[in-house]
Amino acid sequence: MKSTLNNFYILIFALIALLVIPCDSADDACARLANDYKQSNGDPNFSLKHSDVQACFESFPYDKNLAKNTIETLKRSLQGFYVFLSQAKEPPQQGFSFRAMDLIKELDSLLSNNYKTDYQFMMDTFNLINDLKDPHLGFMQSCYFTFSYDQQLSLYSVVNNNEQIIKIFEDKKDKNTIDCEVTHIDGKPSIEVIKEYADTLPLSRDSGARFNYALSRVIFDDNGDLVETPGSFTSRRNLPNNSSVEYSLKCANDASKNFTREWKVTPKTPIMFNMFNTSKDYWDTFCLINDNITVPSSNATNVKAVTQKIYNVTEAKMVYKTSISEFFILSDKKTGVFVLSSVSAPDFVDELFEIQNGFNLLENSGIKKLVLDFSDNIGGSIELGFFIVYLLFPGSDPSFNQDMVVTEISREAFFQATAQSELKHYIDISKIPPFNISSNESIARWAADAAYDVTSGDSDFDAFSYKNPATHEHFHNAKEFIGNNANIRGGTPTKYTTKFVNRYSERLGTFIELVSGNFFNKYEWKNKDMIILTNGLCGSACASISQRMAIKHNVSTVAIGGYKDTQLSYASFPGGQIIKFDDFLEDLDGIGLLQNKTLVDLIPLPFEINAKFSFTLREAYDVVNKYDLNQEDVLEFIFKPAEYRIYYDEITARDPSVLWLKVAKLLN
């Protein structure tokens, strides 16, 4: 009797235990991820389960309030400041593809969906914003981007006998598949499947550039080694729909072969697994804003260290290298190549001199022609970009006119920022570094350093930071800067500021002239001696460099890859200026706008979630067509295809020097 009662109690206790400890790893997918990872003991072949990642992400229920607040912050930021909001309603020009939309209306309509999970809502928001194909505009909930998904093989596309096909670029698990043709993926024609995937990417308004991004290319890494950068079709950052991909191959001798490859799922930062044990931990640590926890950013160098294959450069010799560029001399002995893979240097002023050293070396070697390879370059500092244009075209004005949108809240931002700036007319000499007079170069370096520090503005909304390109005078007050310029774009009357360029001609002004040729060296190369080569993935400040050279200086352009018989842009997303949400709030806080009670309904509030968000603050205009003085074309929306096209083959896809030789022939 007694023992039966005891058993009964034990049974009850066990039931209660089951009910109150739902975090047992048997039914908590996030916990399973953590356990599996810990048990893998650093096995390099270990993969997390696709199904566990999906179940972990889908374990967080939709919270309508959180969703509403997220959308509200996005809407207030975009309605107040996103410069392309109206124009994004206009259908794309021929050559471009994106979903024209009323973004505010679309964001609102997400809230009327009956979501079950937070994941679904956040990914719909992510995808909606990506549909505009403006890479300066982006939103992502970071906790759904913590893993990498790798096929351990990669793809590329060649045109052979006038036919475009997909091939295997590299295969880490089975070397026998390399260079086999991929006829089908998941049972459908491979190009179709890759196009469908590539068109979900926000990378460019040009579908051909998106296709290039989905496929593998080679790039020069920080050591100057030529390595593969895997196409995103086989190397993803968000959870793929299926746990595996099926390939149908046609190899040498027409042997065909079908196989299925699982995604290898690994954490972007392994130490994330020290930061959670359960779904609740995962949500609190990675999904919500939590000032007490800093989530470490990904350790790319660590990943790279794992036996990166180095490809050979057979037709060129590297003669100089800076932190963001390489200089080569081709085997024809008369063509130099300038490879610029970023416009964002660790030391701005140092880079000004380093890049000159590279060009000086080419000139001193008797180089007559230049191939400017700006592939896979997503930009950086517009000032550094302009410096490069100045260097090759001294005395030119590399600026394109820009403006910002004028709304109730941005108007107030201009007034408050400019009012504060008026109080600070003096130059803060404490920012000027000590003078070093030992050589001409050191004087120029000093001048550049001093100018760079002194001219850096505090706020993007300060009218004193800009000048009027029509009068060449800086703006004297906010009213003059705001002006009275209404345009109808996307059927919506919209106000824009007076057109402007940066007051210090993108900060350095005469100092840039000083260090870029007027003081040291003027090169012999003329526009007809140069050609710009890109794979379309030359964005932002890189687009500014190449478009300025092409449009203002008539430098030829050639684009590589893309779809056969379809024109391809040589540059993508020239934009104007990107602003990251955190910097944006800091700026508004600095000028006192966040404290203004009358604007409380318009001011965006910080996210409650751990999100990354940025948008385009300024837009740049095309140069005025000499036959139409009223032309108001926004560069971002103008399709500018390259003059020449080249497609990859088995050799040029892996050895850019062979490609450069082909490109150099276009110069003759």
Ligand X SMILES: *[C@@H]1O[C@H](CO)[C@@H](O)[C@H](O)[C@H]1NC(C)=O
Q: Which residues of 609-638 are buried (b: 16+ CB within 10 A; e: fewer)?
A: bbbebbbbbbbbbbeeeeeeeeeeebbbbb
Q: Which of 554, 566, 625, 631 binds ligand X (CB under 6 A)?
A: 554
Question: Contact between 357 and ligand X (CB under 6 A)?
Answer: no
Output the CA–CA distances (angstroms, integers) from residue 248 to 165, 186, 242, 245, in the order listed: 13, 8, 17, 10
Task: Please tell me the count of residues contacting ligand X according to CB under 6 A.
Answer: 39
In the complex with ligand X, which residue's Cβ is closer, 44 or 491? 44
**448 in Cβ contact with 390 (< 8 Å):** no
What token pair was written down for 505? 């001609």
Q: Which of 6, 51, 176, 302 binds ligand X (CB under 6 A)?
A: 302
In the complex with ligand X, which residue's Cβ is closer, 94 or 312? 312
Q: Quote the least distance from Cβ 276 to ligand X, whole Å.
A: 5
Question: Contact between 412 and ligand X (CB under 6 A)?
Answer: yes
Site for ligand X in 481-520 (CB under 6 A): none
Choose one: 13-21, 91-99, 308-316, 505-513; the region binding ligand X (CB under 6 A): 308-316
Mapping DSSP to helix (H, G, I), strand (E, B) and coil, where does residue 336 land?
strand
Q: Which of 45, 294, 364, 471 binds ligand X (CB under 6 A)?
A: 45
Question: Contact between 317 and ligand X (CB under 6 A)?
Answer: no
Q: Which of 312, 430, 471, 484 binds ligand X (CB under 6 A)?
A: 312
Q: Quote the least distance from Cβ 172 to ligand X, whole Å.
A: 7
Tell me, residue by residue from 423 to 452, as one string, x for binding to ligand X by CB under 6 A and - for no binding: -------------x-xxxxx----------
User: For residue 302, which amino acid is it?
Assistant: N
DSSP 404-471: -EE-HHHHHHHHHHHHHHHTT-S--GGGSPPP--SSHHHHHHHHHHHHHHHT--S-TT-GGGEEETTT
Q: Quote the least distance from Cβ 275 to ligand X, whole Å.
A: 5
In the complex with ligand X, which residue's Cβ is closer, 637 or 648? 648
Side-by-side strand order, sheet with 466-468: 473-474, 466-468, 501-502
Q: Scan for tokens 């109808």, then name that residue.
A: 488
CB within 8 A of 543, min separation 6: which ones?
A: 379, 571, 572, 573, 574, 575, 635
Q: Quote the least distance from Cβ 277 to ligand X, whole Å.
A: 4
Q: Quote the least distance from Cβ 9 to ligand X, whole Å.
A: 28
Tell me, residue by residue from 137 to 176, as one string, x for binding to ligand X by CB under 6 A and - for no binding: ------------------------------------x---
Question: Contact between 41 and ligand X (CB under 6 A)?
Answer: no
**200 in Cβ contact with 128 (< 8 Å):** no
Residue 379 DSSP one-character state: -
Q: Which residues of 539-563 are buried (b: 16+ CB within 10 A; e: fewer)?
A: bbbbbbbbbbbbebeebbbbbbbbb
Closest CA to 463 of 509, 512, 508, 410: 410
CB within 8 A of 617, min separation 6: which ones?
A: 81, 82, 83, 404, 460, 576, 577, 578, 579, 584
Q: Quote the least distance from Cβ 520 to ligand X, whole Å.
A: 8
CB within 8 A of 350, min separation 6: which ones?
A: 323
What token pair was written down for 237? 């950052």
Q: How far apart are CA 172 and CA 352, in angstroms?
A: 40
Cβ-in-10-Å burial (0-12, 13-18, 19+) of 426 comes to exposed
In the complex with ligand X, which residue's Cβ is closer, 269 or 494? 269
Tell me, residue by residue from 234 to 263, as one string, x for binding to ligand X by CB under 6 A and - for no binding: -------xx-----x---------x-----
Q: Which of 5, 20, 112, 187 binds ligand X (CB under 6 A)?
A: 187
Q: Quote the least distance from Cβ 183 to ligand X, whole Å.
A: 7
Tell me, residue by residue from 583 to 612, as one string, x for binding to ligand X by CB under 6 A and - for no binding: -------------x-xx-------------
Q: Quote the least distance from Cβ 187 to ligand X, whole Å.
A: 4
Q: Quote the least distance from Cβ 448 to ligand X, whole Å.
A: 13
Q: How far apart are CA 456 and CA 499, in angstroms?
A: 20
Q: How far apart are CA 263 and CA 242, in angstroms?
A: 9
In the complex with ligand X, which residue's Cβ is closer, 84 or 156? 156
Q: Which of 3, 43, 94, 493 binds ligand X (CB under 6 A)?
A: 43
Question: Contact between 186 and ligand X (CB under 6 A)?
Answer: yes
In the complex with ligand X, which residue's Cβ is closer, 430 or 439? 439
In the complex with ligand X, which residue's Cβ is closer, 440 or 631? 440
Q: How far apart are CA 90 and CA 608, in angstroms?
A: 33
Question: Contact between 526 and ligand X (CB under 6 A)?
Answer: no
Tell me, residue by residue from 102 to 141, as one string, x for binding to ligand X by CB under 6 A and - for no binding: ----------------------------------------
In the complex with ligand X, which residue's Cβ is closer, 65 or 438? 438
Cβ-in-10-Å burial (0-12, 13-18, 19+) of 117 comes to middle
What token pair was written down for 392? 């090759």
Residues that bind ligand X (CB under 6 A): 43-45, 173, 184, 186-187, 197, 200, 241-242, 248, 258, 269, 271, 275-277, 281, 290, 292, 296, 299, 302, 309, 311-312, 412, 416, 436, 438-442, 554, 596, 598-599
